[in-house]
Structures are given as C-alpha cells and as structure tokens.
C-alpha cells in the first residue's frame, strides 16, 4: 500500500465537505487534481470510500474507520511541527516544572512571566509539592525539571546543587536588629522557628548552636522557610532561613540580618537522566540559575545541566 500525505489530505477534505469541488477549494488546488488524488488513494486502499446521496459524498463505514486513523496521522504531524518549532525557535512547546511550594508563590511567578513574554506558544505546568513527590515525578519523567532541596542521589536523576546564603530573620521591632551580625549565642533567649528535625539544614543549624555553647530553643517546626518568615512578620520568634526566601518578605514586618557562622542552604535542580532534552527547559534553567546570583554563597559556580 503506497499513498501520499496529499492523498490523505484530499480524502479528509472530501469527507468533511461532502464535495470534491469544495475539497479542492479548501486545499487550494484544482477540482481535477483533487479528483485524481482521491482516485489514487481509493485504488491504494482497495475499498469503496464514498457513496453519493442527494449530490453529497457520504463516507462508507470503511472510510469512517480510515478517517479516524488519518486523523491520528495528522495529529502526529502537528506534534512534530510543534517539536520542530520548539527546537528551532523555542517559542512553542510544553514546559513542565515541579517545585517546592515556596517557589510557586514567590520567585517563579515573576520569573516565568518574563520568560513566557516572548514565547506566546509555550504552555506551562507548574506543580508544587514536597521533595519526595518531586523526586518521584522526575524519576518517572513526568516533568522536565524539579526544584527542591535535601536531594541525596538517584541513578535516574541528574542534578546541580546551588549553595544559597542564609540570614537571620527577626521581627523588625526586635533589639537584635541593630546588630551587624547575629550568632547562635545572640539567639539563646529567642524562640526559634526551624525546618524539620530530619532535614540536612536543621542538622547544620543545631550543630552551629552546639558549637557556640547554647541550646537551640525549639519553638515551631516547619517544612518551608517561607512559613517561618510569615510567622515572624507577625512579631513572634526568630529563624535562620535562606536569603532567597527572606528577600520575598522584605518590608513586611521582618528584619534581615547576616548570620554567623555562615551556613549554606543547598538548593537542587533535578532532571531525568533519560527522556527528552528540551532546549526550552534548558533555556528556563539558565534563566532560573541566573536569577539566583544575588543569593548564592561563595563556592564556585556549578556546571550547567
């Protein structure tokens, strides 16, 4: 069986219009040319395609079956065209990002608005969830990239780690806000809001307090730094959070003061080892990493994915 895409177009156009003449007009060709394409296709499939009723061409049951398959062919071709635009112009496609909840409401909305401004054909899925779920999605290749923390390692996932500076966050009325630097000893009488006890960052923070000879006065345990910032903006507690999260709450009732010793919060960008290598996703990751420059700690820049 041999036939051309043009024959498939003619067959589909005739089925939709009920007329060879109207199909020819739709395709921008002459009526004899449309008739020839339809005739050649009919010979290729060796079945009757149409019956005529009251001057209208009606698809036979065999033709209706073929039409559903022809529709799938053109859907696949349209998908290939979209992929081609994504590869060449990077202005179309589907960008799928999984992230921690704080990113979905703080840094990413503005960044994505700028990123999509000149990419009108790009569709976006932004899905916030906990780190464990983000890892599952990346392993299953359901998302192009994941933004998370506390990532250890997985053979199906490639990652880059970005160290983010941390700062002390206090209510703006706290006397400690007059200091240039705050240490664990300065916080010995403050109620501390901190990340979960099983998190790598909590272990770093607890060690810093122990080495300074003071007990960490645990008050509230949270999953996200942004939650700590919101509570403190209401005038209670103190916390050590990433400079990135703290910046989102500047001017909202909190004070941001450098913290010593210097602790880094490790942010991880994940991508599936296998699967598609979307240039659109790579462009986004470049923009995202660039947006983190004001908040990065001192270690050398990691290689780009």
Residue 108 parent element (H or E): helix 107-117
Asked whether the beta carbons of 137 and 146 are under 8 A apart, the reply is: yes
| Residue 93, pLDDT score | 78
pTM of the predicted model as reported, rounded to 2 decimal places: 0.67
- Are β-strands 92-99 and 121-128 bridged in parallel, bridged antiparallel, or unpaired? parallel
Cα torsion through 172, 175, 180, 181, rounded to 10: -90
Handedness of CA 215, 217, 222, 227 (dihedral sign): negative
Give 12-16 contacts, CB < 8 A, sequence gap 24+: 12/67, 12/70, 12/71, 12/74, 14/38, 14/50, 14/57, 15/50, 15/57, 15/59, 15/63, 15/67
Collapse the DSSP code of 5 into the 3-class scheme (helix H, G, I; strand E, B; otherwise coil) and give the result.
helix
| For residues 174-200, average pLDDT | 96
| Residue 78, pLDDT score | 82
Percent of the chain with pLDDT over 90: 75
Collapse the DSSP code of 16 into the 3-class scheme (helix H, G, I; strand E, B; otherwise coil) and give the result.
helix
| Residue 85, pLDDT score | 65
| Residue 127, pLDDT score | 96
Q: CA end-to-end span of the chain, whole Å?
A: 45
| Residue 274, pLDDT score | 81
Confidence label for 303 from pLDDT (cuts 50, 70 and 90):
very low
The full DSSP string for 127-184 is EE--HHHHHHHHHTT-SSEEEEES----TTEEEEEEEEEEEEEEETT-GGGGSS-B-T
- Averaged pLDDT score across all residues of the chain: 90
Confidence label for 1 from pLDDT (cuts 50, 70 and 90):
low
| Residue 300, pLDDT score | 46
Structure confidence by residue, pLDDT tens digits, 8-59: 999 999 999 999 999 999 999 999 999 999 999 998 888 899 999 998 999 9
| For residues 264-280, average pLDDT | 86
Collapse the DSSP code of 304 into the 3-class scheme (helix H, G, I; strand E, B; otherwise coil) and give the result.
coil
| For residues 208-217, average pLDDT | 96
pLDDT at residue 175 greater than cutoff 90: yes
- Tracing tokens 């009606």 back to the chain, one arrives at 58
Q: Which two tokens stand for residue 225?
A: 């730094």
Structure confidence by residue, pLDDT tens digits, 96-143: 999 999 899 888 999 999 999 988 888 999 999 999 999 999 999 999
Structure confidence by residue, pLDDT tens digits, 222-240: 999 999 999 999 999 999 9
């Amino acid at each position: 069986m041999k036939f051309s895409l043009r024959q498939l177009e003619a067959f589909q156009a005739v089925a939709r219009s009920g007329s060879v003449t109207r199909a020819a007009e739709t395709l921008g060709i002459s009526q004899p040319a449309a008739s020839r394409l339809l005739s050649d296709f009919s010979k290729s499939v060796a079945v009757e395609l149409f019956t005529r009723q009251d001057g209208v061409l009606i698809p036979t049951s065999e033709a209706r079956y073929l039409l559903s398959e022809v529709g799938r062919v053109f859907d696949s071709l349209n998908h290939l065209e979209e992929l081609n635009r994504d590869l060449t112009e990077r202005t179309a496609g589907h960008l799928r990002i999984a992230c921690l909840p704080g990113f979905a409401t703080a840094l990413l909305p503005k960044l994505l608005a700028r990123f999509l401004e000149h990419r009108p054909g790009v569709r976006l899925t932004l899905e916030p969830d906990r780190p464990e779920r983000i890892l599952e999605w990346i392993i299953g290749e359901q998302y192009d990239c994941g933004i998370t923390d506390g990532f250890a390692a997985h053979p199906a996932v490639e990652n880059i780690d970005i160290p983010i500076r941390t700062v002390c966050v206090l209510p703006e009325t706290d006397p400690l806000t007059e200091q240039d630097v705050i240490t664990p000893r300065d916080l010995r009488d403050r109620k501390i809001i901190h990340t979960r006890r099983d998190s790598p960052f909590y272990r770093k923070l607890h060690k810093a307090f122990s080495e300074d000879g003071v007990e960490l006065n645990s008050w509230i345990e949270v999953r996200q730094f942004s939650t700590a910032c919101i509570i403190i903006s209401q005038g209670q507690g103190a916390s050590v959070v990433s400079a990135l999260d703290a910046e989102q709450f500047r001017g909202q009732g909190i004070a941001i003061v450098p913290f010593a010793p210097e602790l880094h919060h490790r942010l991880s960008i994940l991508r599936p080892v296998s699967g598609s290598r979307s240039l659109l996703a790579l462009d986004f990751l470049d923009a995202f990493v660039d947006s983190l420059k004001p908040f990065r700690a001192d270690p050398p820049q990691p290689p780009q994915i």
